[in-house]
Amino acid sequence: MKKPIIEFKNVSKVFEDSNTKVLKDINFELEEGKFYTLLGASGSGKSTILNIIAGLLDATTGDIMLDGVRINDIPTNKRDVHTVFQSYALFPHMNVFENVAFPLRLRNIDKKEIEQRVAEVLKMVQLEGYEKRSIRKLSGGQRQRVAIARAIINQPRVVLLDEPLSALDLKLRTDMQYELRELQQRLGITFVFVTHDQEEALAMSDWIFVMNDGEIVQSGTPVDIYDEPINHFVATFIGESNILPGTMIEDYLVEFNGKRFEAVDGGMKPNEPVEVVIRPEDLRITLPEEGKLQVKVDTQLFRGVHYEIIAYDELGNEWMIHSTRKAIVGEEIGLDFEPEDIHIMRLNETEEEFDARIEEYVEIEEQEAGLINAIEEERDEENKL
């Protein structure tokens, strides 16, 4: 990992008026030039982290580092970060140019340089020609762009974004996701984005921190988080999931629904109780006799790109299926899936325990693979003789 631009070391936050601990020993490192997302439901602590980085809140315990320097006692205006709020916090009595130029005027930048830099950032956010436009006459998306332009005008080390897209309609929100991601990559500035929207997080991020009840329960790339949730909360919070109790018979063999299935997971105890996750899009509809499982269709909704089908097996377990193939309510269908479609979750496993188990298991597999290769090479040499 590169030298971190931001570090949290055992950071906790307690609101004294209610004695509520909203952050519990948070530790993480952020690299320069990446797009990070703090993802969680309301009250999970994600905005508290953002406000502590910005200096709008003090940490109760722990250290906040920026470029290796402890900044706990450094005031907001002295930190090389800028925040884009959900409300945008624009000045309604100023036009677009004056709103964007405001941070430069505070630093007494030369007038000619201000004009040049404002023109540059307005071009970046596709607002050329809007310099004299009143803020009141802008759409929600245009106001969003003004707020972002003002945030990047000083070329800060970090841009903090507190649910900035939540007030936009679906189409505009999707468009802004593309624009924000492209802008971040072009600038190379570290973005820290707060949202409760899982789709936003998956679409935009290099790295996601999933939060719940003041703790980071899992962190990783969007693919890691989606494909390898470590517990029930993450599996249900990130996308739709079919989750069933099961037993890990041995490496690569799991039992659920009274049947045994090949899997790709290992490193657990024989006959260990586990939870089994299969995503709705990984289930394929077949004829009943051709499926690994048989279910009866209960309801069906058309979601535009697929049908969302709810079905029940003979044990009463509910199954959600996403399929481009239409089913008939009341009919029996088969469900097919591959070993790699099955994800196994250990009960009450922490992220640290999960990472350690996977690392140990990969090492064992590599050693076994090396031993097999050595034996095969030895046999090849013997055959040559």
User: Are residue 55 and residue 191 in the same domain, yes or no?
Assistant: yes
Q: What is the pLDDT of residue 378?
A: 72
Into how many domains does the chain fold?
Answer: 3
The single residue listed with the structure tokens 């948070």 is: 26
The DSSP secondary-structure symbol of 268 reads S
Residue 232: inside a domain, yes or no?
A: no
Q: What is the pLDDT of residues 336-364, one digit of tens each?
A: 999 999 999 999 888 888 777 777 766 66
Q: What is the pLDDT of residues 289-347, one digit of tens each?
A: 999 999 999 999 999 999 999 999 999 999 999 999 999 999 999 999 999 999 999 99
User: Are residue 51 and residue 153 in the same domain, yes or no?
Assistant: yes
Q: What is the pLDDT of residue 11?
A: 97
Q: What is the pLDDT of residue 142?
A: 85
Please state, in angstroms and rounded to a whole number, the distance separating the CA atoms of residues 124 and 136: 21
User: How many other C-beta atoms are found inside a 10 Å radius of the C-beta of residue 24?
Assistant: 15
Residue 235: inside a domain, yes or no?
A: no
Question: Nearest Cα to 293, choosing from 250, 246, 249?
Answer: 246
- Mean pLDDT per segment of 10 residues, for the chain of length 385 residues? 89 86 95 95 94 95 96 92 80 90 88 91 88 88 86 90 78 82 90 93 95 95 93 92 96 95 92 97 97 97 95 96 96 97 91 77 66 71 68
Residue 222: inside a domain, yes or no?
A: yes
The CATH number for 141's domain is 3.40.50.300
Residue 263: inside a domain, yes or no?
A: yes
User: Are residue 73 and residue 193 in the same domain, yes or no?
Assistant: yes
Question: Nearest Cα to 151, choosing from 189, 109, 185?
Answer: 189
Q: What is the pLDDT of residue 355?
A: 78
Q: What is the pLDDT of residue 279?
A: 97
Q: What is the pLDDT of residue 303?
A: 93
Q: What is the pLDDT of residue 242?
A: 97
Question: What are φ and ψ of residue 29, in 5° steps?
Answer: -130, 140
User: Are residue 217 and residue 272 in the same domain, yes or no?
Assistant: no
Residue 365: in which H helix or E strand, if any?
A: helix 351-384
User: How many other C-beta atoms are found inside a 10 Å radius of the C-beta of residue 36?
Assistant: 22
Please state, in angstroms and rounded to a whole number, the distance separating the CA atoms of residues 371 and 159: 49
User: Are residue 45 and residue 143 in the same domain, yes or no?
Assistant: yes
User: Are residue 153 and residue 278 in the same domain, yes or no?
Assistant: no
Angle of the 111-124 helix axis to the 140-152 helix axis, nearest 10: 130
User: Are residue 254 and residue 223 in the same domain, yes or no?
Assistant: no
User: Are residue 179 and residue 306 in the same domain, yes or no?
Assistant: no
The CATH number for 294's domain is 2.40.50.140
Q: What distances in angstroms separate CA 146 from CA 94, 167, 174, 382, one per listed residue?
A: 12, 15, 18, 73
The single residue listed with the structure tokens 């945008």 is: 88
Please state, in angstroms and rounded to a whole number, the distance separating the CA atoms of residues 256 and 245: 7
User: What are the residues whose beta carbons fall under 8 Å from the beta carbon of 15, sequence distance 6 or more?
Assistant: 22
Q: What is the pLDDT of residue 158?
A: 94
Q: What distances in angstroms separate CA 193 from CA 50, 114, 209, 237, one per listed residue?
A: 8, 27, 10, 18
Q: Residue 379 sits in which domain range?
A: 353-385
Q: What is the pLDDT of residue 1?
A: 60
Q: What distances in angstroms separate CA 303 from CA 24, 53, 171, 311, 328, one per listed residue?
A: 39, 39, 16, 16, 16
User: Are residue 108 and residue 255 in the same domain, yes or no?
Assistant: no
User: Are residue 305 and residue 363 in the same domain, yes or no?
Assistant: no
Angle at 41 between CA 169 and CA 230, to 5 degrees: 120
Please state, in angstroms and rounded to a whole number, the distance separating the CA atoms of residues 336 and 324: 15
The two beta strands, 158-162 and 81-84, are parallel
The two beta strands, 343-346 and 158-162, are unpaired
Residue 52: in which H helix or E strand, if any?
A: helix 46-54
Q: What distances in angstroms separate CA 356 from CA 208, 342, 361, 362, one per listed residue?
A: 19, 21, 8, 10
